[in-house]
Amino acid sequence: MSSHREAPEISKDPVADSSDLYAFVSPDDPDTVTIIANYVPLQLPSSGPNFFEFGDDVLYEIHIDANGDARPDITYQFRFRTELRNDKTFLYNTGQIKSLDDENWNRRQFFSVTKVDSHGKSTVLASKLPCPPCNVGKISIPDYAKLAEDAVHKLKSREKVFAGQRADAFFVDLGSIFDLGTLRPFQDKHLVGQQLFNYAGKAVNATDKTNVHSIAIQIPLDMVRRDGKKRVRAKDAGAVIGVWTSASRRQVEVRGDKGAGDVVVGPQVQVSRLGNPLFNEVIVPMAQKDKWNSLPPSEDKRFAEFVSTPELGALLPVLYPGLFDNLAAFNKTKGARADLLAILLTGIPDGIIEGFQNNTGTVQADMLRLNTAIPPAKKENAFGVVGGDIAGFPNGRRIADDVVSISIKAVAGATLPLVNKDFTADAASGLVEQGLSIKDVSASLLKKFPFLPTPFDGFNNPS
């Protein structure tokens, strides 16, 4: 999955697990950028009485790099606090919840927003903003959409924020992809006598009807660009920002024997991060996944070898004999995948794709790179830049972008001719896809901030 349970240790700590990150110029307000960071993945809707929530002991952060050094120029910090109203009941709510301060709602969460600049100066932008409740069911919450809308807060500093439960809009045929890289629809079209894949069929969205907890922020473009301009050209370096998210916990040390010593609380320690979808999932070796989660993007040069020679790129010619002969021949030369290094670690420079660039310089770092001068597409193509839509992934990431198929196409060699004119992509590289789209998510995206769908409720979606 994009980053759901992508590393051994973070899979044991879902409250701090950053599962998806989106960054795009807002279609409801093109003078702003929307960034959405999802946590607490794979929530079953019917999870009462202890419904899912953010961690009061986790520091959630969204980082923005405006000058290409892979270090944050702006960081938005989100901290949460849970309050229990009634200590005599086991129930999440003792009656219908009709407002964000309804006395029937027993366990409430609030959050603060702090902005940190490149010099480390912190400014608290808001405190005790209410989150919406989890979507218990229609009887408990008759108008959930209205409650969620009330939980969108416009700050005096011009940002708009939301934090709360949402439906997971990420779509992936997880069962087939991790079963030796099988792509069901692709196998149906191209299978010739390979008995290993004789069960190929319709793709299945493994994350459908699950919820997440989302932190969403909408920021005026002039606040994230290095020069503070409201209008820039797509080819200008100042148009591109790098975005990543992280989660940290306090370091705790017990001094003394057999638990009788003092507990010493130390600094925040990063336990999760996310930039490009699937980076830690399918690029970083399992032995280094937890290490990757603990490091900042500025240290990603140590993982460049896995981007340059991706394991999946070597597997495809083996799994699909005869379909990736050109890729297999390139692999034998042991040449570096300059296309993937650009897409994932530096951004694509000007002059490669007409009208597009999202290059941040020479520092290799896993960040979502968004060219903020490129307006939202009038008609989106789910394959983003690969499909001719330069407003989509890997130019940031929109919610409906099929990042799984785009990534597989790129690894299969579809993007290699952009930087290597002597390479001819195999026909199969343009055909590989997982066979899913945003239509395979059983909830509809919102047309305005925070865009992610209303979470699935427990009554109508039993586990």
Contact 375, 404 (CB under 8 A): no
Q: Say what the pTM is.
A: 0.92
Contact 388, 368 (CB under 8 A): no
Per-residue confidence at 226, pLDDT binned at 50, 70, 90?
Answer: confident
Distance CA 168, CA 179 (A): 23
- 333 CB contacts (<8 Å, ≥6 apart)? none
Sign of CA dihedral 35, 271, 133, 56: negative
pLDDT tens, residue by residue, 254-285: 566 655 566 566 789 999 999 999 898 889 99
Identity of residue 166? R
Distance CA 362, CA 355 (A): 21
Averaged pLDDT for residues 134-146? 95
Per-residue confidence at 179, pLDDT binned at 50, 70, 90?
Answer: low
Averaged pLDDT for residues 369-392? 97
Calculate the dihedral angle through the C-alpha atoms of 247, 162, 450, 107, rounding to the nearest 10 degrees.
90
pLDDT of residue 192: 42
pLDDT of residue 251: 76
Identity of residue 439? K
pLDDT of residue 266: 74
Reference 125, options 161, 163, 81; nearest CA is 161
DSSP string, 265-294: EEEEEEEEEESSTTIIIIIS-GGGHHHHHH
State the DSSP H helix or E strand holding residue 211, giving kind and residue range, or none if neither: strand 211-220
Per-residue confidence at 193, pLDDT binned at 50, 70, 90?
Answer: very low
User: Max CA-CA distance within the chain?
Assistant: 73
**Which tokens is 182 given?**
């099988």
